Amino acid sequence: MLSQKLQDAMNEQMKNEFFSAYLYMAMSGYFQAENLPGCANWLRVQALEEMTHGEKFFVFLCDAGGRTNLLPIDGPQNDFKNPLDVFEFGLKHELFVTDRINQLMDLAREEKNHATQIFLQWFVTEQIEEEANFNLLVSKLRRIGNDGQGLLLFDQELAARVFVPPVAGAA
């Protein structure tokens, strides 16, 4: 059973995960407008991944006897200065999400809610990957600088990413 405080915090994080999807779709739209379809693709895949993260919170709340509360989602930033700005913003956002997941884990530990801790451990590990992915892309774009040919190669690389739906029943 979830305490009201933990249930509210889990619903807030569910909103954050769905907002992440919304943000990454906005970033994808920026890249579509800039004729960088590979970058747009990478971020659409990222948005789909974030939707599955939000769904994981939804299912867990239901399974744990909690009540889902779909909170309003603010509009994301839609305009950026350049590709580096987009991915730096994405990294900053992932650092925010990591902090929120860590706060949730602290609350679950404080309340000695072992099931929630086990559920959140997947997200703790996932955030390492999320931050590493954005860090790598930011590093590559910093190396590329104003090299148009480098940006086109970068775009081609990101075009190869595909969404792999999670295995049913996997955390």
Helix (H, G, I), strand (E, B) or coil at 117: helix
Q: Which residue segment(s) compose the domain that 51 sits in? A: 4-68+79-158
pLDDT value of residue 166: 81
* 170 belongs to a structural domain: no
Phi-psi category of residue 113: left, alpha or beta, with phi > 0 → left and psi -120 to 50 → alpha: beta
* 168 belongs to a structural domain: no
Domain count, the chain: 1
Tell me the pLDDT tens digit for each residue of 59-68. 999 999 999 9
Helix (H, G, I), strand (E, B) or coil at 50: helix
Residues of the chain with confidence (pLDDT) below 70: 168-171
* 44 belongs to a structural domain: yes
CA proximity to 40, closest of 73, 87, 103, 8: 87
* 163 belongs to a structural domain: no
**How many CB atoms neighbour CB 119 within 10 A?**
22
Q: How many helices and strands in the chain, by DSSP H and E?
A: 5, 0
CATH number at residue 130: 1.20.1260.10
* 164 belongs to a structural domain: no
Say if CB 41 and CB 33 are below 8 A apart: no
pLDDT value of residue 150: 98
pLDDT value of residue 1: 84
* 20 belongs to a structural domain: yes
* 166 belongs to a structural domain: no
Say if CB 77 and CB 110 are below 8 A apart: no
* 116 belongs to a structural domain: yes
pLDDT value of residue 171: 58
